[in-house]
Amino acid sequence: MSTNSKKAENMFINLLELVGYKNLQPDYNKEQIIALINKTYPNALDYCVQQRAKQKLQTKWNIIPINLIIDWVCGVDAIISPDGNTKWGFDVTTDASKVSKKLNKLREFDKLWKILGITKVGVILLEIPNEFEGITLLTEEDKERLVNSFLEDVIYAMDDQTSEVRTHFFSF
């Protein structure tokens, strides 16, 4: 994962928190999720280990946080419950050329995210200006503008979407 990608994921999670949503990924039980992955997609964990090994990276599932497992295997970076009932998943990127691949991965692993209780997923293409230094450095007025823009461009659009998987664009 590139530094830009991780930065984008972190900024997105910070934005969710600013709006008032909690990322639900850490609330899942790791052992149950690993068992579900093995049952639903028997080769998924091994494939992930092989891909990471090509980058000379270890993969020790017993000590990897659940949010990384859900991200690496299922392609979901964040999960929210906008109404306290339904759950939505998000895969975040700053690279427009990766959107199609991410959409395909979400479609491929639909059984798993549905087992997680997720009813809709979206690939979020983030545009982050080079001069943007982070949410915490924004004025209260800029934070309010960002929240309203995010609600309009992502949350309300996702609520209105009729397909289970869709791309959304958001610019900071």
* Residue 104, in any domain of the structure: yes
- Confidence (pLDDT) at 8: 85
Bridge partners, 121 (sequence order) = 89, 165
Distances from the Cα of 128 to the Cα of 84, 85, 112, 170, angstroms: 29, 31, 30, 9
* Residue 31, in any domain of the structure: no
Give the number of domains in the chain.
1
* Residue 98, in any domain of the structure: yes
Determine the structural domain holding residue 151 and report its residue range: 3-24+75-171
* Residue 166, in any domain of the structure: yes
- Confidence (pLDDT) at 3: 62
Question: Please, which residues have CB within 8 angstroms of residue 33's CB and are 6 or more apart in sequence?
Answer: 66, 69, 70, 116
* Residue 40, in any domain of the structure: no
- Confidence (pLDDT) at 115: 87
Q: How far apart are CA 170 and CA 91, in angstroms?
A: 13
Q: What is the mean pLDDT of each run of 10 residues along the chain (172 residues)?
A: 75 92 92 94 95 96 94 93 94 93 92 91 88 82 91 92 84 78
Helix, strand, coil shares of the chain, percent, nearest 5, are: 55, 15, 30
CA-based max dimension of the chain: 49
21: which DSSP letter? P
* Residue 29, in any domain of the structure: no
* Residue 64, in any domain of the structure: no
* Residue 54, in any domain of the structure: no
